[in-house]
Chain A
Amino acid sequence: MKIPIIYNLRSLRQRPVSTLTTALGMALVVAVFVSMMALSNGFQSALTSTGSDENVFLLRKGAGAELNSGIARDAANVVAGMPFIAKGTDGRPLVSAETFVVIPLQRVGGGGMANVVVRGVSLAAFDVRRGLEILEGRKFRPGSREIVVGRTFARRFPNSEIGGRINFGGQDWTVVGHFAAAGSSFESEIWGEAEQFMPVFRGQVFSAITFRMSDPANFAGIKETLEADPRLYVDAYQEKEFYDNQGTLLNQILNFLAVFIAGIMAIGAVFGAVNTMYAAVASRVHEIGVLLSLGFKPRNVMSSFLFEALLIALLGGAVGCLLVLPVDGLVTSTTNWNSFSELAFSFSITPRLILYGMVFAATMGLIGGYLPARRAAKARVADALRR
């Protein structure tokens, strides 16, 4: 025999202030939890979507990051001639040897200086990387001082409209296009022709080489061949894995903070729920007596009160999720310490996160409701009906 849910709903409506304050307390905990997870999620996906698992990424042996790396032109030519590189529609190998420097630029609206990646590429780079598209304008013309900028960059730095001029490396560069890259960290970068950047930044070496494999399943073999080649002196990474790893530490910190902060807040909210539910039980001792005398089992009473706590928590969870929805897509930034450059990314709230938030709320409700519900189930008819 189950106690009807309508009984719980009515009881909650009997004491709206208590129900709402308890639920709102939990709502804020869920809001903090979901927004911090959304931050970590957005950060990770910016890096994850940067790499493709069809691509191989080469750095000088031991360099570990593009900023430290250097690969000579000869070596780049050797790589371009390798047989396992996929060919583009024009029959040329899909390989991109790139230069990589970090420059300081003034942010829009006096936000101080930020370090920005300037990547020197060849036109092949737009084909090697999947998901890259020119949103506005066009690609740079080889042999000219033209650049294209990522769409996140365009929002955050001045003079980045089409036709705008940005000064770095002692030169003025004309923006001719904006590109998207599936939300990846490339969208925070400036791209131009490697041959133009090399003399300006006084380095005649590339930083990294990325190429598309004709047979991605053979990555292990390709890695072995390249790393063993005495002409190259490189480390080969699967591109996706490389970028995933870049964010690991910060991501772990963010996840840890999300769980740590929300967890501690949750303790407070659970205590609040315990108080509320004890008060609910105490004020309804008489009713519980009636229910028991009607033949409901103590465990029916217990589950009914647990359910009531759950209802409060789910209300809180739902409000909490609604509260954080506006942060979805909000762009923020931090530094990718591997490249020493600013990485802009957006809070990303996914259905999965909402589910986590609701589960988090439900857990708080059940923990907070357990002891009071057990107290309710222990009530004896005689005691309860006494007055």
Chain B
Amino acid sequence: MKFARLVLANLGRSKRRTILTALSVTVAFFLFASLRSILTTLDANAEVGSEARLIASSATGITFPLPQAHINRIQAVEGVKSVSWSNWFGGVYIDQRNFFAQFAIDSDSYLAMYPELLIPEDQRRAYLGERTAALVGAGLMERFGWRLGQTVTLQGTIFPGDWEFTIRGVYTPENPSFGDESFYFHYDYLFERTNRQVTPGWFTIQLDAPDQAAAIGSRLDALFENSSAPTKTETERSFQAGFVTMWGNVSLLVRAIGTAVFFAILFVAANTMMMAARERVGEVAVLKTLGFQNGTLFGIVMTEAIIICVVGGVIGIGLAVMSMSSFRAIQSFLPGFSVTPGTVWLGIGIAVVLGAITGIVPALQASRLSVVEALRRV
């Protein structure tokens, strides 16, 4: 560590250059952390679904409804603890751009199945006790500035007309990846207002034990295979994961961009390190004359490069952590968006590698420098 001062002094030689280089590394790692967090958040969202719950939807397609009559038959299957049913509502709040998910749920069975939804007890009772009540995520409340007890009107797209709901409950999710921008209301309200024409969009099935998921799933599908409405049953986790993959090949895109960022900054930083080294040929020769070993000089140059990259990287990742958590709008697209510790450590690791690569050429030059040649040039 006694060479630390030499390293620091070299970094301070051209402050502008050191700072600019560190800053370019900073922006690169800001991007790295932000982009990777998109992936980790998508992954986390794909895993938010439970393995102990099954979703049965129509084998014809997710948009096709299933008959009410399936409920009792599912309930009768061994290993099934309870069944709930829901429908996608697809209403519009004022403008189509204000998109958020709305579900008509069979509230008693649904809430019993979802301890993930944290609702104050009085609100839960108020919601369950009123036909046109709505249960709204805290994030959605914040997004539209809604208050508890407020009446909001949604314009039906699948179910025509104006639908009024009174917000009686606000939930917060147990896990941020679950999302807090959904809007739930009673299936019965939908059922009655559509003259009992509507049937469930999908069933949610709570199992006695998760290890039976595959077996019960195929048993259910076999049960309805020759009925008028065959089903496709999968665990809630794989059902959710299916939606995540619908965005397309985000991971490839992000990886491609990440690679480009890495190399762009590699070029910038490597160039700086080489420029810095070129200016110091004479000094390295002097140090060798004083008896500095080649390995020591290699280490000193390498350390400089790694310090620039790690300092830049840490600041960049830090900025990403700070700005991403305060960026509300992104939570609508990617609930639970955050920079994971894994990303932070991976980023620091990459910064070290980046520093090592940018430092290797100048470090080798320094250690292989011929003193006699260099001193002649001085």
Contact = CB atoms under 8 A, between A and B. Distances in A.
Given A62-B157, A275-B20, A68 B90 contact: yes
A278 B274 CA distance: 14
Given A264-B30, A268-B24, A272-B24, A112 B245 contact: yes
A22 B267 contact: yes
A64 B92 contact: yes
A332 B60 contact: no
Contact of B246 (A271, A278, A342): A342
B61 A103 contact: yes
A26 B97 CA distance: 36
A249 B332 CA distance: 13
A375 to B, nearest CB: 11
Nearest to A267: B27
Interface in A29-59: 29, 31-32, 35-36, 39
A268 B97 CA distance: 35
B323 to A, nearest CB: 11
Interface string B235-274: 0000000100111110001001100110111011111101
Given A62-B155, A104-B62, A275 B246 contact: no
**Most A Cβ at <10 Å: residue of B232, B246, B247:** B246
Interface string A73-88: 0000000000000000
B31 A261 contact: yes
Contact of A269 (B60, B96, B155, B268): B268
A3 interface: no
A335 interface: yes
Contacts of B265: 25, 268
A271 B271 CA distance: 11
B132 interface: no
Contacts of A28: 260-261, 263-264, 267
A9 interface: no
Contact of A276 (B246, B253, B275): B275
Contacts of A276: 271, 275
Interface residues of A, number: 53
A62 B23 CA distance: 51
Contacts of A340: 62-63
Given A102-B62, A275-B271, A275-B275, A25 B31 contact: no
Given A18-B274, A201-B64, A275-B271, A268 B25 contact: yes
A29 B31 CA distance: 13
Contacts of B2: none
B55 to A, nearest CB: 13
A63 interface: yes
B157 A113 contact: no
A192 B232 CA distance: 24
A93 to B, nearest CB: 27
B97 A334 contact: no
A63 B268 contact: no
Given A113-B242, A271-B20, A274-B20, A68 B267 contact: no
A264 B271 contact: no
Interface in B5-29: 16-17, 20-21, 23-25, 27-28
A50 to B, nearest CB: 18
Contacts of B232: 104
A67 interface: yes
Interface in A316-375: 332-335, 340, 342
A230 interface: no
Contacts of B97: 249
B248 A170 contact: no
B68 to A, nearest CB: 15
A334 B248 contact: yes
Contacts of B215: none
Interface in A264-315: 264-265, 267-269, 271-272, 274-276, 278-279
B335 to A, nearest CB: 16
B271 A101 contact: no
A272 B272 contact: yes
B156 interface: yes
Contacts of B16: 278
Nearest to A343: B248
B268 A25 contact: yes
Given A62-B160, A63-B158, A275-B20, A268 B260 contact: no
Contacts of B249: 332-333
Interface of B: 16-17, 20-21, 23-25, 27-28, 30-31, 35, 60-64, 90, 92, 96-97, 155-158, 160-161, 230, 232, 242, 245-249, 253, 256-257, 260-261, 263-265, 267-272, 274-275
Given A201-B64, A264-B27, 10 more contacts: A62-B155, A65-B157, A101-B61, A265-B31, A265-B260, A267-B23, A271-B21, A272-B272, A334-B247, A340-B63
Interface of A: 17-18, 21-22, 24-26, 28-29, 31-32, 35-36, 39, 60-65, 67-68, 101-104, 112-113, 115, 168-170, 201, 249, 261, 264-265, 267-269, 271-272, 274-276, 278-279, 332-335, 340, 342
